[in-house]
Amino acid sequence: EAQVTQNPRYLITVTGKKLTVTCSQNMNHEYMSWYRQDPGLGLRQIYYSMNVEVTDKGDVPEGYKVSRKEKRNFPLILESPSPNQTSLYFCASSLGQGAKILGTDTQYFGPGTRLTVL
């Protein structure tokens, strides 16, 4: 089954304790992205990756890191989490440049990770 998986689904942690949220897709997609969802703000992009070893900042990158060593995985790293990073996080993937020409680059989302930083 084609899907985007995230782990963990729920996480409660304390300020300053490094954590990683994993994201994996099995659709051979080039493009992957992380979003955070907050009430009244919709989804905002944190980081994205156009392909392996290519990453760039989205709209709200402060306090986050990412890496893209393999095509299927795109982990989100919080080196020193703070309470304002309490949020619902989504990973997404899409075909990327190949679909750009067709104008049909649909993004597929993971189930979400609810993070609470105390």
Partner 1 sequence: GNSVTQMEGPVTLSEEAFLTINCTYTATGYPSLFWYVQYPGEGLQLLLKATKADDKGSNKGFEATYRKETTSFHLEKGSVQVSDSAVYFCALLIYGGATNKLIFGTGTLLAVQP
Tell me which residues touch partner 1 (CB under 8 A).
4, 31, 33, 35, 40-45, 48, 50, 56, 90, 92, 94, 96-97, 99-100, 102-112
- Cis before 8 (ω within 30): yes
Task: Report the residue count for the chain.
Answer: 118
Q: Is 56 helix (H, G, I), strand (E, B) or coil?
A: strand
**Residue number with CB closer to partner 1 (40 or 80):** 40
Residue pair 101/90 in contact (Cβ under 8 Å)? The answer is: no
**Residue number with CB closer to partner 1 (14 or 54):** 54
Q: Strands 10-13, 4-7: parallel, antiparallel or unpaired by DSSP?
A: unpaired
**Residue number with CB closer to partner 1 (47 or 64):** 47
- Closest separation in Å from C-beta 118 to partner 1: 22
- Closest separation in Å from C-beta 80 to partner 1: 27
**Residue number with CB closer to partner 1 (16 or 98):** 98
- Closest separation in Å from C-beta 17 to partner 1: 25
- Closest separation in Å from C-beta 113 to partner 1: 10
Element (H, E) at 47: strand 42-51
The Cα 51–Cα 10 span in angstroms is 27
Q: Six-digit token pair at 46? A: 């944190």
